[in-house]
Copies of this chain bind each other. A is one copy, B any other.
Amino acid sequence: MRKTGGYAIGVDLGGTNLRAAAIDREGRILGKSGGKTNLKEGREAVIEDMITAIRALRDQFGHETLAGVGVAVPGFIDLQNGTIVGSNNLPQFDGYPVRDGMSARLGAPVILENDANAAALGEKWLGAGRDVDDLILLTLGTGIGCGAIVHDVIIEGEHGHGTECGHILIDPSPTAPICSCGKTGHLEAFASATAVVNRTRELLAAGKCRAIAERMAAGETLNPRLIAALAHEGDAEALDIILETARYLGLGIVTLLHTFDPSVVLLGGAMTFGGQASPIGRRFLQRIREEIRERAFPALVEKVSIRFAALGGDAGFIGAAGIARMVCRRDRG
């Protein structure tokens, strides 16, 4: 009989990086591994890499005490069939039976979870949501992901599309920018890294943002990190871009507050402009809070905490390990 008191393995299958960790029931990270996601070599190569990473951890920490394996993936999950559906980052996996294939090869239970949902679970287990029952995590990056935990349950949605809050509507104007999903007016089209870069390009085309133009002419890449660096150096136009992004996020969060009434909203992902450690990150957060105060019920504004996530890029595999432990244990009664 397999002991459930041992550890679980969490895998974060990103479009760029593939990371795995063995985590015990107290949340201690026993061991980690990481590498690139070999998408160019095809789906089988990526699955092979995951299997290899998992087997290495299992060999190290024991076959008998492995409770299960969780895999966080950037895409919608068909929970019933254990497949990835409609992932922009992993199109080769569309409809492929990842869960059952991996489970058969490993001889261990495997569970898939959307990456933002996994990160939300990770933050709740070991990160910035440890002290609350309900939280919403927005992951700000190329796109905007979201995970919502309500009464200790992740909102999965009836068809695996729950809390795709990058696609909540914040502007009905027909001239609103087009989202990655092809529709207009969605939050992601205003406040993702892609949106920030697009908006900056428009400003550059209009002859504005000279400081950014100079750095680009010197060979730097236009991205939120460059904009944050310039804002940090005192460039007002760079700061304006960041504060406008914050305003849009505030609009979206108003809707989330009035919908979920959570204890906490966490901001994670790569695009937090330095986060709590940086004066620019703190200005960004302050501007988000101001917009929320302008638009939301005062009773909620007073009670909710809007803050940065704590686990960075580890949140996905931590949450994946956490859900593997929960679900695989539940499945066995």
Of the candidate stretches A62-70, A250-258, A313-321, A323-331, the one touching chain B is: A250-258
The answer to whether B296 touches A183, judged by C-beta atoms less than 8 angstroms apart, is: yes
Within 8 Å of chain B (Cβ to Cβ): is A108? Answer: no
Q: A145-172: which residues lie under 8 A (CB-CB) from chain B?
A: 148, 150-151, 153, 155-165, 167-172
Q: Closest residue of chain B to A300, judged by CB? A: B161
For A299, give its contact among B86, B151, B183, B303 (CB under 8 Å).
B86
Q: A173-187: which residues lie under 8 A (CB-CB) from chain B?
A: 181, 183-186
Q: Closest residue of chain B to A160, judged by CB? A: B261
Within 8 Å of chain B (Cβ to Cβ): is A233? Answer: no
> Which residues of the other chain, B, contact A165 by a CB distance below 8 angstroms?
258-259
The answer to whether B158 touches A261, judged by C-beta atoms less than 8 angstroms apart, is: yes
Within 8 Å of chain B (Cβ to Cβ): is A295? Answer: yes
The answer to whether A295 touches B183, judged by C-beta atoms less than 8 angstroms apart, is: yes
With A155-B260, A167-B258, A169-B254: A161-B295 Cβ-Cβ less than 8 Å: no
Within 8 Å of chain B (Cβ to Cβ): is A134? Answer: yes
A294 to chain B: closest CB distance in Å? 7
The answer to whether A258 touches B164, judged by C-beta atoms less than 8 angstroms apart, is: yes
A43 to chain B: closest CB distance in Å? 21
A244 to chain B: closest CB distance in Å? 11
Q: A114-164: which residues lie under 8 A (CB-CB) from chain B?
A: 132-134, 148, 150-151, 153, 155-164
4 additional A-B pairs beyond A169-B170, A169-B254, A169-B255, beta carbons within 8 Å, are: A151-B153, A160-B261, A169-B251, A256-B259
